Each structure stands twice: as C-alpha cells, then as structure tokens.
Structure 1
Amino acid sequence: MVRSAEDRMTWVCTREPPTARLRLADPPSSRAMLDGGWWPTSRDPVVELCSLVTALTAQRGCVIERIMLQPAAWDRHPRRIGVGGGVVRVGWFTTLEAGLVIITGRRDLRIDLAVIAPETTYAAATATMLAASRSANTTRATDILSIPPSPRSRPLARHGDDVAAWETEGGHLQSDRHPTAPART
C-alpha cells in the first residue's frame, strides 16, 4: 500500500488549544458502557484532539497512544497528531458510531466517550455529559446524543445506495409509486 505524504505527516496544533469540555465518570467503572462525555468546540480534529489528550493526561495521568473516530463527523482526517512532545495515532473507522470516540493507551487503557456536536446548546450538552459520566451507566453513545455528520464531509447519495436494505425494510422507491388523484369531496 502506497501512503501519501499527508498520511505520514504528524499534525501539530499551532495555537493554544481550547480547554476541553469534558466530564468523566468518577471513579471509572469496568461495567459502564461510557466513561464520560466530550463536547468539542469545533470539527477540527487537530485542535480538538490536542485539547482532549491534554485534558485526559492531566486528569487521569495516562499515556494516550491511539484515538479512534468516525470520519463523517470531522472536517479532515489526520493519521498522527503531536501532543506534548509525543505522537498520538488516529484511526478513522466508518463502522464506528459518530457519537463515540475510543481512546487507548498503555496499561490496557481504554476510555469510551460520548461525543456531543459542537453546535449543541449548553443545556443539552451539559445534560448529555452528565448522563454519559454516570458510574456504571449502560447507555450507548447513540442513545444519549450523537454528533451528526458534518455537511461538508457527507457523501452524496447515489441512486442504488442502500436500495436492497430499504426494500427489505418495507420502504418503496419513489419511482415505484404511482401518482394518485386527490379524493373528491
């Protein structure tokens, strides 16, 4: 596989990243589906992930090595980010829920966070972060509130996309419908 120069490049945040809007379960629970909630200020992964890694390192004293995200929810897709003199690898998985970020690191570290859309209101984001940070919660990220795909990164729908799934779920294509005359009264 030939990798581009951009894939090999380590992205570094050139300005002071904002303070991460993050709420973690305290104490962490091995039974919880989520370890907390994260409310990024933008859809720029370099700035937001630098902020998140810095906050997690300060709060939990952990060494973060990898972050997994869903690509449709972000403006660009860097593979490596430089943070605090180290490099964090970023994996982009279309099968991952858009409202979830998975962080892994040394000593079997795994942190699953619900991601709240940057444009979410303060009240809704606060409620979501509280729900996601409850100890031993059993709620999935998509059931709380997920980050919708960015309009710029959403692929254009083509005729035939998901037609088989649509037809087996009881839906009908528009071209299959016959126009009906309005009922006379």
Structure 2
Amino acid sequence: MIRSAEERMTWVCTVEAPAARLRLADATSSHAMIDGGWWPTSRDPVVELCSLVTALTAQRGAVIERIMLKPAAWDRHPCRIGVGGATVRVGWFTTLGATLVILTGPGNLRIDLAVIAPKTTEAVATATMLAASRPANTTRAADILPTPPSPRSPRPARHGDDVAEWETEGGHLQTDRQPAAPART
C-alpha cells in the first residue's frame, strides 16, 4: 500500500491551542457509557485534538496514544498529530458517531467523550457536558445531544417523502387505482 506524504506526516499545532472545554466524571465507573463531555471550538482536528490531549494529560495524567473519530465531523483528517513532543495516532472511522471521540493509551486506558458541535449554544453545551460527566451515566453519547446535520449529510426527511419514495420504487397510492369491477356470477 502506497501512502501519500500527507498520510505519513505528523501534524503539529503551530498556534496556541485554546483551553479545552472539557468536563470529566470525578471517578471512573465500570457502568458509565461515557467518561465526560468535550466541546471543541472549531472543526480543525489538529488544534482541537492538541488542546484535548494536553487537557487530559494535565487533569488525569493520561498518556494518550490513539484517538478515534468520525471523518464527516471534521474539516481535515491527519493520521498523526504531535502533542508535547509525543506522536498521537488518529484513526478515522465512518462507523463512529459524530458525537463520540475515543482516546486510548497504555494499560487498557480508554476515555470515551461525548462531542458537542462547536456551534452549539453555551447553555446547551454546558448542560450536555454536565449530563455526560455523571459518574454513573448509562446514556450513550449520541443520546445525550442529537447529532446536528453535517455539511455532507442528506437533508432531513419531510412530510410526504415516504410517499415520494414509495412512488419511485414502483409502488403506487391506492387513490391512483381504479376500483376493480365486482365479479359477475
């Protein structure tokens, strides 16, 4: 497999990354579905992931080695980022929800965070981060805050779309049919 130069390079944040808007559960729980909430300021993964890894290292002493994200939720897709002299590998998975980021490290370290869209209002984002950081949280990230439509997602369904779809698939409405004549005996 031939890899492009962009895939082989390690991206480094050259601007001062903003402080991560992050809220973590006080204690990890084996029953919790997610470990907290994260509200990035933009869709730039280099800046935002550097900020996130730096905050997790400061708050938890965590060594982050890998990050898993959904590509449609971000503007570009680096495979590696440099944070504090270390290289963090970034995996892009279309099967992941846009509202979830998974960070892993040595010794079975795994941190699952609900991701709040950057343009979310402060009140909604704060409430979502509080809900995501409850220690006994059994709610999935996707259920805490509905996924906003990404620029690449199809338009939301409207009333009557099911009829249009049915018609284009070969079906037809009952009102279009002529009633069958009664059988003569």
Shorter-chain TM-score bucket reads 0.7 to 0.9
Counterpart of 1:128 in structure 2: which amino acid?
Answer: T
CA deviations 1:119-175 (Å, max 9, x no partner) are 000000000000000011100011011553541xx1679xxxxxxxxxxx9983453
Partner of residue 172 from structure 1, selected from 159, 162, 165: 165
Question: TM-score under structure 1 normalisation?
Answer: 0.84
Counterpart in the other structure of 2:181: none
Output the CA distance in 2 between the equivalents of 1:61 and 1:114. Answer: 20
Counterpart in the other structure of 2:27: 27
Counterpart in the other structure of 1:99: 99
Counterpart in the other structure of 2:89: 89
Counterpart of 1:21 in structure 2: which amino acid?
Answer: R
Q: Unmatched 5+ residue regions in structure 2?
A: 156-161, 177-185
Consecutive aligned runs of 4 or more in structure 1 exceeding 6 Å deviation: none
**C-alpha deviation, 1:29, in angstroms:** 1.1
Q: Retained in 2: the 8 A contact 1:72–1:149?
A: no
Aligned pair in 2 of structure 1 residues 8, 134: CA closer, same or farther (>3 Å)? Answer: same
CA deviations 1:16-50 (Å, max 9, x no partner) are 10000000000111210000000000000000000
Radius of gyration: which is bigger?
2
Aligned residue for 2:165, secondary structure, equals coil
Q: Retained in 2: the 8 A contact 1:22–1:38?
A: yes
Count matched residues: 168
Counterpart of 2:43 in structure 1: which amino acid?
Answer: R
Q: Unmatched 5+ residue regions in structure 1?
A: 158-168
Counterpart in the other structure of 1:17: 17
Task: Please list, as runs of the form range in 1=range in 2, the aligned pairs for 1:1-185 lying within 5 A after superposition.
Answer: 1-148=1-148, 150-151=150-151, 154=152, 172-173=165-166, 175=168
Output the CA distance in 1 between the equivalents of 2:14 and 2:39. Answer: 21
Aligned residue for 1:30, secondary structure, equals coil
Aligned pair in 2 of structure 1 residues 117, 53: CA closer, same or farther (>3 Å)? Answer: same
Q: Retained in 2: the 8 A contact 1:10–1:82?
A: yes
Question: TM-score under structure 2 normalisation?
Answer: 0.84
State the percentage of identical aligned residues: 75
Q: Retained in 2: the 8 A contact 1:116–1:146?
A: no
Output the CA distance in 2 between the equivalents of 1:52 and 1:112. Answer: 12
Output the CA distance in 2 between the equivalents of 1:139 and 1:147. Answer: 15
